[in-house]
Structure 1
Amino acid sequence: MISSVRLPGVHHSAPAKSGPPRDPAPKPAPPKPPMWRSWLLPFGLLLTALLLFTPHMAGGKTKALDYSDLLGQVNAGKVASVSINDKGAVDGKLKDGTSFTTQIPTVLDNTTLASQLQAKHVTVKGTQTGGSWISVLLSFLPLLLLVGFFVWTGRQTQRQLSGGGPLGAIGRSRAKITDAERPETRFADVAGYEGAKQEISEVVDFLRNPDRYARAGAKGPRGVLMVGPPGTGKTLLARAVAGEAEVPFLSVTGSSFVEMFVGVGASRVRDLFAEARKRAPSIIFIDEIDSIGGRRGGSVIGGSNDEREQTLNQLLAEMDGFDGSTGVVVLAATNRPETLDAALLRAGRFDRQVTVPLPTQAERAAILAVHARGKQLAPDVDFDVVARATPGFSGADLANLLNEAAIHAVREGRDVLSAADLGAARDRILLGRREASNALLPDEKRSVAFHESGHALVAALSAHADPVAKVTILPAGMALGVTEQLPEAERHLYTQPYLLDSLAVRLGGRAAELVVYGYGSTGASSDLAGATELATRMVREFGLSDAVGPVGYSSGQQQFLGGEELVSRSYSEDTQRVIDGEVARILREAEARAIELLRTHREALDRLAALLLEKETVDGSAVTDVLRLVSGDGGPADGSPTSLELPAQPAGQA
């Protein structure tokens, strides 16, 4: 993570006097549809219900009579009128106004009924089945309304999918747009990474002065890929580019392109580039581009995905489709560059790659100063010391370090952060939470004290080892004790004497157990694992073995930056046997050397272990004092230790 800070001596770029044109005024929203459209659907449903249920409701006032009852009503003179169709269905009305219906049996002789109706002066009307065209239309009206409703719904859906309604958002880009009127981050606000900023500053210059490049016949970069471990601030650096150029900044993550619907990702890519062209000059930033830019054809772990490949194909076409003079630049970030498709990395798409590595020691101190803003610090806090103690930390890790230190201070009932709080926070991150209830047995505590004393004394007695900063036998996480070493300066070259001393320091704890007790314990498991890994790399990769020779066998291509590696073996079984033998020899020699040093300084080992049992935690000066008290000098063989950076893990863990 690249943290915002203004360092002395760093050129602070001023905003250009005549920047690019501002974004055009946004188009007015389309007029709202009339209110009566919203009532069409409820009205149609209500009308359909009325047409369907009105006959039944009306039929509730009609009285159904049997044929014999009809004859009785006619003889009693209660029938006023009847309507008889050609199939014998009778609808009639009594003299009291009651309607009735009945059915005349067609197999009977109905002359009697006709004579009775005539005798009682009943009005008789004959009808024919089939009805009028109005009745036929009314009978089909519910079906017509239903068909019309489905047609209307289909047209509304088609209009919305084309971008005119809520459903159109499925294919719209989900980019977060930061307009040119709100630029915040500048290159001067980013700590360190001068090389990366210089490479990427040409993008800013191109967006500010495209005519100057056109006059020289040069084309600005179309795409810049930023590569680096997680937490190094690739997104912040991209925002700094947008702030320097003062142009709209469209930010989107690679995962937001892929959905369960086929074709949605490609549609979102088209919409993203269309939006960028309308706002040109502009910057498109795609974070975690490996989500959609992986190799096609199933060569990547996990197989292929048709939707992801369609999205990638559309991205490739869009990056080829726009003219470089339009002022649209694509920035992308990933920590897995080896998984990207080759077509995405070729010239004309992503023209250059900018590496954003982990911060150096000086940059870590500057980042700590930024994240310490708003916090009260004690006078003993020295960011240079903290930066020395945090090799391999990213900006995000350093921010977490200060936050953990603040939490530790609050837990202790203080508002001011001290150096002890930062040390406790570092142990919390590297080792885990310290358990006060995890009390060791007396024999275990004594064994851990000798183990950590062995680490510390071998480090102090080795000419090329880093100085000891702290020794503790308080359990934290999985470690029962820790010996910490701090490099005096950040180094990038590791010599063979330094590596051999590092192996001796790692095996110093086990050597102390062998010297004192005559046998080892399980407390050296992590030390053995780290020493074996280091010795293996010395033989297999660094060519530091006479038996194997100056041959380097890579351990495999990195799976992602800052993480573990895919192990692959490109040599024979016989070579592996030789490597195993050399690794064992180097480890045995390192252990023998540590044992010899501790036997020679057995009194110092006993005194330091007794001091740890009494105080539980001592600093590096206590180790030097014990050696000086016992031997008179206590320094390394040549009196001038050479400091080199150890890995981020503590030197010794019990």
Structure 2
Amino acid sequence: MTRQASTPPTRDTGTPTAPPSPPAWRHWLWLVALVAFVVLLFFLPSGQPGPTTSKLTYSQLLADASAHKVDTITIRSDGSATGDLKNGKPYETVIPAQAGQGFLDKLQADGVQITGTTHGGSAGSTILTLVLLLAPFLIFGYLWWRLSQGATSRMSGAAGVARSRARLFDEERPGTSFADVAGYEGAKAEVKELVDFLQHPDRYTGAGAVPPRGVLMVGPPGTGKTLLARAVAGEASVPFFSVTGSSFVEMFVGVGAARVRDLFQEARKRAPAIIFMDEVDAIGSRRSGSSALVSNDEREQTLNQLLAEMDGFDPATGIVVLAATNRPDVLDPALLRPGRFDRQVVIPLPTLVDRRAILAVHVRAKKLDPGVDLDAVARGTPGFSGADLANLANEAAIVAVRAGRTVLSAGDFEEARDRIILGRREGSNVLLPEEKHAVAVHEAGHALVAVYADKADPVSKVTILPAGQALGATQQLPLIERHLYGEDFLQDTLAVLLGGRSSELVVLGQGSTGATNDLAKATDLASKMVREFGLSSSLGPVGYPADGGAFLDGSKGLSTRPYAEETQAMVDAEVQRLLRQAEERATALIKAHRDELDHLVELLLAHETVDGADVYALAGLPAPENRPTEGAAPLP
């Protein structure tokens, strides 16, 4: 199937500003053209001989012929004649029709060369004369038309601003189906009811059920919200209007509202139909209150028109509005009330089963080695979205091509995952010998603390090969998908994060800049434990979540502090206490297992990368069960 985009016609042109009328002097162009035509008609030289040609009368011609002064003569069918005299000068004359044969006999007797012709001047000269005569009308007529057309185009351009920018996919064109959306069975079950309503509306009206007018799909970026909307259109086989929120906003006030009216008007004509608005938060953000210092009149007018359209059309007409956003917290409450967006479908990051299904879709066109285990790859990518998994499969193919192969191996996926998470891998020779030893001590500390901590995620791999901004990495792989984190798990995670710094203090006697990222992550986690999770005995069961989008990283944005300075001092003290306790615990574990630490450092210096099973064997502990042979996630 092919999909072709076309812009729907418009009936609502909004209220554009009228362009200036064409200049009045353009009507004088025709008079100027007429004057130029008359001038050319009288003064344009014809295709006949030039002004130096002698004009002889019939009697003079006979006298000159008798005196043998005439050399040649050319007689035309209209009675005119031209020729040359003996002295080389041209002449022209008119021969009367009564001259007859006697005139020709006399000229021949006088030695004149006689030539006859049936036409006047040459065709080229005649055409050139006509072109020159018509040129004034053509030139000035073109100028008049351009002036009139310019005013018309300005008028249509101003009116075209109000047209909807939605792309229309007719009913036979959407080729996406639910089979193309791997995983997300719960989300697909929600939107399948829309397809059933569009195909069989009588089943709902007969039972007195009113189908949802709008469905809002929310979730992190890259989880497939747009793909799911296209699948709805493909399954329902109805016209599908696709538009982004930003396409309604222009510099002219009122244009966005006009485009909203135009969009819904065209959807009503093609009902049943689907309107899909991607990134609806661009126009659906909360409206400014009366006390707001800055407001956006254009955006608010567009939102008001959208609210009126969604509340105004008849539910029985078969129009369903789909919208997608990763910022539901900023949407206007009037947009989310029942009767507009009746239903919200949350599309979270894929689970282990979903990641396995998504990977299977993205490797269909790729050749895989029999040793590739997609379950292991899926387990090694916790927190990856559908877009991330598509990028992973593509990066693995690039790694294989770089190695001169067309078949993807398990190592290609592992290298691609490290490339996405950590960055491009560098050789260990970029480090000085003492730096390489310090990195080995640091990563060995992370690994040993993770091995001996009861609740920490198992160690999958330890490496001292630099990648991106990381000089080394200790990768942990969760055995299960966690949705709830206990306090013991969080405390063990803090100890693992500070294990590298503790190892440096024990072995090297000083810290280094290598713990910068670890300290930032540990401080952020401890702050959340105190402010958001209520895990502080001093502060008590209170929660002060940071500002930010529900599906975006709000920790990097500016946040207001809804508590007093004294509370902030308590928060700082509790965060410091948690970090010191974690560091002391990590230091105690490293000192208790110093021999194992030294052996692991030697292994890292010798092999640069050590598998998690070797770390557990070195620590004298059994490796966790069901741990895949490859795939890992970085430290949280």
Using structure 1 for the length normalisation, give the TM-score: 0.72
Asked if structure 1 preserves the Cα contact closer than 8 Å seen for 2:456 and 2:489, the reply is yes
Which residue pairs with 1:241 in the alignment?
232
Task: Give the Cα separation in 1 of the matches to 2:236 and 2:569.
Answer: 58
Task: Give the Cα separation in 2 of the matches to 1:59 and 1:307.
Answer: 64
- Offset, 1:374: 1.2
Question: Is residue 651 from structure 1 mapped to residue 603 from structure 2 by the alignment?
Answer: no
Which residue pairs with 1:130 in the alignment?
none
Asked if structure 2 preserves the Cα contact closer than 8 Å seen for 1:222 and 1:330, the reply is yes
SS class of match (2:324): strand
- Offset, 1:553: 1.9
Which residue pairs with 1:203 in the alignment?
194
Which residue pairs with 1:500 in the alignment?
491
Asked if structure 1 preserves the Cα contact closer than 8 Å seen for 2:328 and 2:549, the reply is no
The correspondence of residues 403-418 of structure 1 with structure 2, limited to 5 A, is 403-418=394-409
Task: Give the Cα separation in 1 of the matches to 2:249 and 2:594.
Answer: 65
Task: Give the Cα separation in 1 of the matches to 2:578 and 2:603.
Answer: 32
The correspondence of residues 103-118 of structure 1 with structure 2, limited to 5 A, is none
Alignment match of 1:225 (pick from 197, 202, 216):
216
The 3 A distance-change label for structure 1 pair 584 and 192 is same
The 3 A distance-change label for structure 1 pair 147 and 589 is closer
Task: Give the Cα separation in 2 of the matches to 1:309 and 1:151.
Answer: 38
SS class of match (1:171): coil
SS class of match (1:280): coil
Deviating beyond 6 angstroms after TM superposition, the runs of 4 or more aligned structure 1 residues are 43-46, 54-61, 144-151, 298-302, 639-643
The residue type equivalent to 1:190 in the other structure is: V
Question: Is residue 571 from structure 1 mapped to residue 576 from structure 2 by the alignment?
Answer: no
The residue type equivalent to 1:50 in the other structure is: A
Task: Give the Cα separation in 2 of the matches to 1:300 and 1:401.
Answer: 48
Question: Is residue 555 from structure 1 mapped to residue 545 from structure 2 by the alignment?
Answer: yes
Which residue pairs with 1:83 in the alignment?
none
Question: Is residue 527 from structure 1 mapped to residue 518 from structure 2 by the alignment?
Answer: yes
The residue type equivalent to 1:553 in the other structure is: G
Which residue pairs with 1:78 in the alignment?
none
Task: Give the Cα separation in 2 of the matches to 1:301 and 1:531.
Answer: 38
- Offset, 1:147: 13
Task: Give the Cα separation in 2 of the matches to 1:302 and 1:624.
Answer: 61
Task: Give the Cα separation in 2 of the matches to 1:513 and 1:309.
Answer: 57
SS class of match (1:445): helix
Task: Give the Cα separation in 2 of the matches to 1:451 and 1:238.
Answer: 47
- Offset, 1:332: 0.7
Aligned residue pairs: how many? 514
Task: Give the Cα separation in 2 of the matches to 1:427 and 1:146.
Answer: 66
Asked if structure 1 preserves the Cα contact closer than 8 Å seen for 2:242 and 2:275, the reply is yes
Alignment match of 2:611 (pick from 619, 635, 645):
619
The residue type equivalent to 2:542 in the other structure is: G
Asked if structure 2 preserves the Cα contact closer than 8 Å seen for 1:316 and 1:349, the reply is yes
SS class of match (1:444): helix
Question: Is residue 331 from structure 1 mapped to residue 331 from structure 2 by the alignment?
Answer: no
Asked if structure 2 preserves the Cα contact closer than 8 Å seen for 1:438 and 1:475, the reply is no
- Offset, 1:153: 4.9
- Offset, 1:156: 3.8
SS class of match (1:200): helix
Alignment match of 1:213 (pick from 204, 213, 224):
204
The 3 A distance-change label for structure 1 pair 350 and 627 is same
Question: Is residue 380 from structure 1 mapped to residue 364 from structure 2 by the alignment?
Answer: no
Which residue pairs with 1:50 in the alignment?
33
Which residue pairs with 1:356 in the alignment?
347
Which residue pairs with 1:256 in the alignment?
247
The 3 A distance-change label for structure 1 pair 343 and 381 is same
Which residue pairs with 1:186 in the alignment?
177
Alignment match of 1:515 (pick from 493, 503, 506):
506
SS class of match (1:292): helix
Asked if structure 2 preserves the Cα contact closer than 8 Å seen for 1:431 and 1:476, the reply is yes
The 3 A distance-change label for structure 1 pair 424 and 148 is closer
The residue type equivalent to 1:614 in the other structure is: A
Asked if structure 1 preserves the Cα contact closer than 8 Å seen for 2:445 and 2:500, the reply is yes
The 3 A distance-change label for structure 1 pair 301 and 178 is farther
Task: Give the Cα separation in 2 of the matches to 1:597 and 1:504.
Answer: 10
Task: Give the Cα separation in 2 of the matches to 1:405 and 1:373.
Answer: 14
Question: Is residue 480 from structure 1 mapped to residue 471 from structure 2 by the alignment?
Answer: yes
> Deviation per CA, 1:432-462, whole angstroms, max 9, x where unpaired?
1123487101000001001101111111111
Gaps of 5+ in 2: 1-7, 10-25, 45-136
Using structure 2 for the length normalisation, give the TM-score: 0.74
Asked if structure 2 preserves the Cα contact closer than 8 Å seen for 1:294 and 1:300, the reply is no
Task: Give the Cα separation in 2 of the matches to 1:174 and 1:611.
Answer: 62
SS class of match (1:330): strand
Which residue pairs with 2:305 in the alignment?
314
Identity of aligned residues (%): 62
- Offset, 1:279: 0.9
Task: Give the Cα separation in 2 of the matches to 1:571 and 1:215.
Answer: 55
- Offset, 1:249: 1.1
The residue type equivalent to 1:295 in the other structure is: R
Which residue pairs with 1:391 in the alignment?
382
Task: Give the Cα separation in 1 of the matches to 2:290 and 2:472.
Answer: 45
Asked if structure 2 preserves the Cα contact closer than 8 Å seen for 1:555 and 1:568, the reply is no
- Offset, 1:545: 2.3
Aligned-residue RMSD, C-alpha: 3.3
Task: Give the Cα separation in 2 of the matches to 1:253 and 1:302.
Answer: 28
Task: Give the Cα separation in 1 of the matches to 2:310 and 2:35.
Answer: 59
Gaps of 5+ in 1: 1-25, 28-42, 62-140, 629-633
Question: Is residue 588 from structure 1 mapped to residue 580 from structure 2 by the alignment?
Answer: yes
Task: Give the Cα separation in 2 of the matches to 1:483 and 1:561.
Answer: 27
